[in-house]
Amino acid sequence: MSAESVKAESTEFTNPNLEVLYSEQQIRERIREIGDQITTDHRGRELVLVGVLKGSCVFLADLMRAIDLEMTIDFMAVSSYKDGTVSTGDVEILKDLSNSIRGKDVVVVEDIVDTGLTLSRLLEILGSRGARSIKLASFLDKPEPRIKKELKIDYTGFVVPNKFLVGYGLDAAGRYRNLPFIAVVRDPSAA
């Protein structure tokens, strides 16, 4: 097949610049396990899942349907201040929670924890609001660039290598969030 015809036939889901790391099937099985774990840990509690926009939206949508409890959801949007490409750890709240978390058991839902700077600041902010407990569920854990070593991830989908990943909510300049799998971008300059 010529390069031209490969290009003509490739779609966003079959983009040759993407190498699948976790398939839809693998993700589905793992989410079911995490959902069971969260269900067991929060029986009889007032559970609220807090999604961190935008990256967590796909994980949150699947995860909540794997939790067999009475529960609610809420969202926050934060922007991390970056000094060039390096996160400084300061976060600005762009959208705050709609409801109080006082007395509730909160599970913060993230797409990926990298340096951990954004999440540890966010947990600090939420920590002053009187929740009964605050836990962290991150679909991916990329431990190698971690700066906040003390950050505890209570529920993790997969521990991943220090590569730039897209799909299942994760983006590169806004693109690829809709991929139903997690992929490595082979050539970031062509992404």
Residue 45 phi/psi, 5° resolution? Answer: -105, 165
Token pair recorded at residue 113: 């924890």
CB 76 within 8 A of CB 42: no
Identified binder of Mg ion from the candidate list 18, 50, 51, 55, rule CB under 5 A: 55
156 binds ligand IMP (CB under 6 A): no
**62 binding partner (options Mg ion, ligand IMP, none; Cβ < 5 to 8 Å by kind):** none
Q: Of the ranges 11-19, 31-39, 97-105, 106-114, which one interacts with ligand IMP (CB under 6 A)?
A: 106-114
Site for Mg ion in 122-181 (CB under 5 A): none
* 141 sits near ligand IMP (criterion: CB under 6 A): no
Distance, in Å, from the CA atom of 58 to the CA atom of 43, rounded to the nearest integer, reads 24
Under a CB-based contact definition with an 8 Å cutoff, are residues 93 and 126 in contact?
no
CB of 32 to ligand IMP, least distance (A): 23
Q: What is the dihedral of CA 85, 86, 89, 95, to 10 degrees?
A: 10
Site membership for ligand IMP, residue 118 (CB under 6 A)? yes
Pick the binder of ligand IMP from 68, 77, 96, 164 (CB under 6 A): 164
Contacts of 178 (CB under 8 A, 6+ apart): 12
Note if 114 is an active site residue.
yes
Tokens of 149: 């070593």
| Annotated catalytic residue, options 62, 105, 114, 141 | 114
Residue ranges that bind Mg ion, judged by CB under 5 A: 55
